[in-house]
Amino acid sequence: MSRQQIPFSAKPSGIRLRGGGGAVVNETIAPARPAGTPVPASFPQGAAKPVAEPDLRPLLEQISAQLVEVEQRRQQSLFELQHVAIELSIAVASQLVHEALSREQFAVEELVRHAVDKMGLGSPVSVTLNPTDLTLLQKRLAKQPASWSGSQIELRGEATVARGGCRAESPDGRMLVSDITSRLSEIRRHWMEELDDAQVERRRAAGEGPALRRFPDRRETA
């Protein structure tokens, strides 16, 4: 009995017997795979194919940089708002002082006492006031003498001294000049320095290091 060889690419589809004990094999020829076609990888049945995870580092770095920028803008806005608040406070204080002067409600006694304390009571002191303030002071002292009124203090009136201010002089040549503008400017300067120091500390805490950028100074003398 002759044997019939089955090609590698052939798939038997059935066997049919014929007379004499021979067998005929029905063949179905599978089409040949084109040259260069990759053979698909085989995976265990039910196993998921591996998927490459995306690199999220660039996205996270971008988000971090944006958050830093937002925080810097917030700090700048806060800093400038605090500057505005200080300027408004000084302006309001100046207005209130001038209103108190016009209504004769200004504490001239405290002004003189402060000047005398600065100069000391060890020697005679001459205190020069605006004539209007001097008149107001003399009226008040007539009703209620101040603690320094019995000391060696000479009170004078001079029109060149602004209202709310005074000039104290001692025989040894020492002189102290005080006025509303200078006092308010000193208060403003002190507040601005504290604000600048707080801004520097906030930036250092944020890790910006010693290279600190100053914002434009839009301050003007009150």
| Among candidate residues 137, 191, 192, the one with its CA nearest the CA of residue 165 | 137
Distance CA 152, CA 96 (A): 32
CB atoms within 10 A of CB 147: 9
Count of domains observed in the chain: 1
Average pLDDT over residues 133-149: 85
The confidence score (pLDDT) of residue 117 equals: 85
pLDDT at 134 (0 to 100) = 92
**Does residue 126 lie within any of the structural domains?**
yes
| Residue 206 vs residue 46, higher pLDDT | 206
Q: 21-76 pLDDT, tens per residue?
A: 555 555 555 555 565 566 555 555 555 666 677 778 888 888 988 898 888 888 88
pLDDT at residue 222, rounded to an integer: 37
User: Which range of residues forms the domain containing residue 107?
Assistant: 72-205
For 193-215, what is the mean pLDDT?
67
Average of per-residue pLDDT values in the chain? 76
Residue 181 in any domain: the answer is: yes
| 174 is a domain residue | yes
7 part of a folded domain: no
Per the domain annotation, does 36 fall within a domain? no
Please tell me the predicted confidence (pLDDT) of residue 49.
Answer: 64
> Tokens at residue 41, please?
């990888």
pLDDT in tens, 65-110: 889 888 888 888 888 888 889 899 888 988 888 888 888 888 888 8
Residue 135 lies in a domain: yes
Answer whether residue 172 shows pLDDT above 70: yes
| Least-confidence region, from 15-19, 75-79, 203-207 | 15-19
- Domain-embedded: residue 17: no
Domain-located, residue 104: yes
Q: Is the pTM of this model over 0.85?
A: no
Mean per-residue pLDDT, 144-159: 81
pLDDT, greater one: 30 or 119 = 119
Please say if the pLDDT value at position 157 is more than 90. Answer: yes
Supply the CATH number for residue 128's domain: 3.30.2320.30
